Amino acid sequence: MSVVTVHETAVARYFEAWNSEGADARAEAVAAAWSEDGSYTDPVADVAGHEGIAAVIAAAREQFPGFAFRQTGTVDGHHGIARFTWELVSTADGSAPVAGSDVISLAEDGRIRTVQGFLDRIPAA
């Protein structure tokens, strides 16, 4: 039986936030995943605080209705940082037009302090 690490727990909460439905559930999931001073940065977003993070997630979910974020591979973590890969998958046909990799740093309570996101695969314009 394997032990779930603080890094794996943080990444699981990250995906719960990205896959949350509705503003209230999203706000609750973001608060569970990110520290109050948390931030999220990727090539198209640079926000801080729970409201900013929730807004980025809402915008992505609106841009890709019928899709869910899914972790690919395993979480690689040490000290207070971790890296992992993900893809955005169609619930209708299983296609995954978007994929990326993220590096997170954790606050002392195990919630995410920062996310540095990279887009590894994006749809053609």
Tens digit of each residue's pLDDT (9 = 90 or more) over 13-36: 999 999 999 999 999 999 999 999
55, two tokens: 């807004």
Q: Which residue has the tokens 């999931």?
A: 29
Residue 26 DSSP SS3: helix
The pTM of this model reads 0.94
Tens digit of each residue's pLDDT (9 = 90 or more) over 33-87: 999 999 999 999 999 999 999 999 999 999 999 999 999 999 999 999 999 999 9
Give the CA dihedral 83, 112, 120, 64, nearest 10 degrees: 140
